[in-house]
Amino acid sequence: VPCYCEENVWRLAYRKICQQRNRETYHVAFVSNPRGCVPMFEQLAAEDRSQPVMWDYHVILLMTTPVSKDSQTPKTYVMDIDSHLPYPCPLEEYVETVFPNHTDWMEEFLPYFRVIGASIYLRHFSSDRSHMFNAKTKTWNAQPPPYKCIMPMKNSDEPNSESERNTTNALQQYMTISDQDVVDSQNQNNEDDPYGQIYSLSQLLQR
């Protein structure tokens, strides 16, 4: 669904995690920065493919393969359904293509990544879609998905179990990466934090 990447990735993560015999590890990554303006190339939303889309935030799914007899090093891929790139795309190729020459960018445009374990995201994410509704005109900035709003799962593995949900809206906390978040990220060490951990682009490549 266009303009609802956080929900598209939630549904994608749910399908991947529920697949039997799935040995890969999945993480959800919100891309943003303190300014709320990140240039991203090779995006389907761009009128000119050679130009970037300036996203206030974007959401992608990271898939990491396990160590095996054929590969002694885990490899991470990006699943970005809003991109022209291969699906999935090796993380290094994705970074090089979507954020070209990023070492030369002004600091205010550099991307940061809020990375959350996919199973944690499935349990804690919620959105009432109010960020896409214009209260003055009583219209949607983008047509919402036809299914019900996603609300956090409590003690159930079933995403449609309304009895185990509440009606909070956590999207704002996921999509926002503040200056303080960036500072605090230097001391983060809790991978079970429901709002994930913040990484710079170089840190993402090294994690």
Question: Distance between CA 112 and CA 200 in Å, rounded?
Answer: 5
Is 5 annotated in the active site? yes
CATH number of the domain encompassing residue 62:
3.10.620.10
pLDDT digits (tens, 9 = 90+) for 170-181: 999 999 999 999
Q: Taking the CB of residue 5, how many other CB atoms lie within 10 A of it?
A: 20
Q: Give me the helices (H) in the chain, please.
A: 5-18, 91-98, 118-124, 171-175, 179-184, 201-206
Task: Please state which of the ranges 45-49, 50-54, 154-158, 166-170 shows the lowest mean pLDDT.
Answer: 154-158
Is residue 146 domain-resident? no
Structural domain boundaries enclosing 13: 5-119+172-206
- Classify residue 148: in a domain, yes or no: no
- Give, as one character, the DSSP assignment of residue 149: P
The answer to whether position 161 is within a domain reads no
| Residue 143 falls inside a structural domain | no
Does residue 115 lie within any of the structural domains? Answer: yes
**pTM of the shown model:** 0.90
pLDDT, position 155: 54
In a domain, residue 72? The reply is yes
Number of domains in the chain: 1
Q: What is the pLDDT of residue 163?
A: 38
pLDDT tens per residue, range 84-118: 999 999 999 999 999 999 999 999 999 999 999 99
Does residue 184 carry a catalytic annotation?
Answer: no
Q: Of 3, 56, 58, 181, which residue is the catalytic one?
A: 58
DSSP 83: B
Assess if residue 142 is contained within a domain. no
What is the reported pLDDT for 185?
85
Among candidate residues 5, 89, 124, 181, the one labeled active-site is 5
Mean pLDDT of 35-52: 98
- Annotated catalytic residue, options 3, 27, 80, 131: 80
Q: What percent of the chain has pLDDT over 70?
A: 93
Asked whether 161 and 122 are in contact (CB, 8 A), the reply is no
Q: What is the average pLDDT value for the chain, to the nearest integer? A: 91
Tell me, yes or no, whether 198 lies in a domain: yes
Active site residue 58: yes
Q: Hey, what are 10's tokens? A: 């939630």
Per-residue model confidence (pLDDT) at position 178? 97
